[in-house]
Amino acid sequence: MITWTPAGAVRTPDALQVRVGATFHERLAVGAPTPSRGLRLAEVARNVRYFTVEREGPRARAVRTLVLSGVSADVPAQRALAEVVTVAREGHVGHVVVHAEADAVPAIRAGALGGAVDDVVSVVSPTSAACPADATASVRLDQADRKSVV
């Protein structure tokens, strides 16, 4: 599927990333603006439902991969996000990833959200603590790290 934009035709994305929390210290900065606040759970649910369920049709395609980034260790929020994941899976989402800071990974994996997602990713660097158990490491190298690795 393609979508027409002011810049021309672009391919409809297969993945949706929703930044849940405003504070996500370990994120990999790629130029996106820093949000002034975290999303409310109802906002997350509305966005996920729109892109995973409501976009299915002859002129649209629902996303197949969902990434929730900046997820905290807050247990009630995780239960609500697990419900959002359930709705996404009832749509067309086959793969769900959570990006979280290393200290939140154990709580995520132990809770309802951990059982609802496929992968939990935590950013690590050569100077940080080891990747938490049951998490996938995303290794960040800064300029000094690149010189020592090469």
Residue 30 lies in a domain: no
pLDDT digits (tens, 9 = 90+) for 77-135: 889 999 999 989 988 899 999 988 888 888 898 889 999 999 988 877 666 666 666 66
Q: Is residue 107 part of a domain?
A: yes
In a domain, 148, yes or no: no
- 125 DSSP assignment: -
Do the domain assignments include residue 105? yes
Residue 115 CA to residue 87 CA, distance in Å, equals 15
The whole domain housing 113 covers 2-23+36-143
pLDDT at 97: 93
pLDDT of residue 95: 94
The number of domains in the chain is 1
pTM exceeds 0.75 for this model = yes
Cα 56–chain centre separation? 21
